[in-house]
Amino acid sequence: MFERLLELIFQLWDFIKPAVVVKQYEGGVVLRLGLWRRTLAPGFHWKWPLFEYVLEATTCVTTVRLPAQSLTTKDGKGVVAAAIVKYEIKDVKPYLLDIFDQNDVLVDVTMGAIRRAVSAADYAALMTEPPEKAVLEEVRGEVNKYGFKVHRLTFTDFALVKSIRLIQPHAKDLAN
C-alpha cells in the first residue's frame, strides 16, 4: 500500500513541478493541455505546472539489429538476410508525436526495403554487390520525416539457404 502511495506521489510530481532538465543525450517536447507547444534542447527549462507535460527521448547514436528474413531473389534462389541499422534522432517532435512505436517503424521500413532490393536482383548480383547503399537511401527517404537520421546499414548475414516450411494442422484438426 505504501509503495502505491509513493508511486502516485512521484507521478503527481511530474505534473506539478515547475521545471525540467533535459539531459545532454536527450531531446524533448512540451505538451500544453495535450497539444505541442515547443521542442526542448538539452538543459534547464521552465514549464507551467499542471498545464504542461514534457515527453523526452534519447537522441544519441544507437543501433538496431534486424531479425533474419527469408527472401527469394529475382532468379528464384532462397536467401536469408539480416542487418544492423545505425541511427540517431535529429528531430524529436515528429519522432515523439507523429509515430506510435518508433522502433517498429524503423525496423519495418528497413525490412521492407531489404525485401524489395533482394527480390529485384539475381543472386549473383547480390553476392558481387550487396544492396546496402540502395536500401540505405530508401530507408533514409522514408524515415527522415519522422526525425530519424540513418547513418549506416550493414548486412550482418546474407546467405543462400533452403527454406523448409513445416505444415501445421489447423486448430480444428488438432481437436479430433
**In this structure, what are the phi and psi dihedrals at residue 146, rounded to the nearest 5 degrees?**
-100, 15
- Residues 45 and 23 sit within 8 Å (Cβ to Cβ): no
- Residue 81: alpha-carbon gap to chain centroid: 18
pLDDT per residue rounded down to tens, the chain (176 residues) = 788 888 888 888 877 899 999 999 999 999 999 999 999 999 999 999 989 999 999 999 999 999 999 999 999 999 999 999 999 999 999 999 999 999 999 999 999 999 999 999 999 999 999 899 999 999 999 999 999 999 999 999 888 887 776 666 665 555 55
Q: 62-160, which class in CATH?
A: alpha beta
- Residues 56 and 39 sit within 8 Å (Cβ to Cβ): no
Q: How far apart are CA 15 and CA 2, in angstroms?
A: 21
Q: How far apart are CA 56 and CA 22, in angstroms?
A: 7
Q: How far apart are CA 160 and CA 140, in angstroms?
A: 27
Q: Is the dihedral of CA 27, 102, 80, 75 positive or negative?
A: negative
Domain boundaries, the chain: 2-58, 62-160
**Full-model pTM:** 0.84
> Who's near 147: CB < 8 A, 6+ residues apart?
89, 90, 91, 92, 93, 94, 95, 96, 98
